[in-house]
Amino acid sequence: MDARVERIVTEMGDRLGPNSGLGGTLKFDFGEPGSVFIDGKSVPNTVVDGAGKSADCTITVSLETFEKMVKGELDGTSAFMQGKLRVAGDMGLAMKLGPILQKAHG
């Protein structure tokens, strides 16, 4: 797993806290660098390496696009419309992405 992905796992886990409000499982798949799995069903919520895990919703996105979204330079809807972000599974969980990203990097 790429060091940037390891940092995302750590920071997201720290900032989301015990209850993200997600109510499901979400996976960010960054391709070759790795993936991040958020278990919003467990108590407390956990954020771990997503390798080999399936989720209620999988968001496939490049690290570069993800970082722009976290910084507020690109919103999830625009990224989706531009084809920079793909969603598989529960679209309702994907709609909760904005607030989760804001919490993840405060």
**Per-residue pLDDT tens over the stretch 41-62:** 998 999 999 999 999 999 999 9
Domains of the chain, by residue range, sit at 3-105
Please report the pLDDT score of residue 106 as a whole number: 53
Q: Is the peptide bond before 99 cis (omega within 30 degrees of 0)?
A: no
The CATH number, out of the four listed (3.30.1050.10, 1.10.287.70, 3.30.1330.10, 1.10.3720.10), of the domain defined by the range 3-105: 3.30.1050.10
3-state secondary structure the chain: CCHHHHHHHHHHHHHHCCCCCCCCEEEEECCCCCEEEEECCCCCCEEEECCCCCCCEEEEECHHHHHHHHCCCCCHHHHHHCCCEEEEECHHHHHCHHHHHHHHHC
Task: Judge whether 23 and 40 are in contact, CB under 8 Å.
Answer: yes
97 pLDDT above the threshold of 80: no
Mean pLDDT score, 76-84:
92
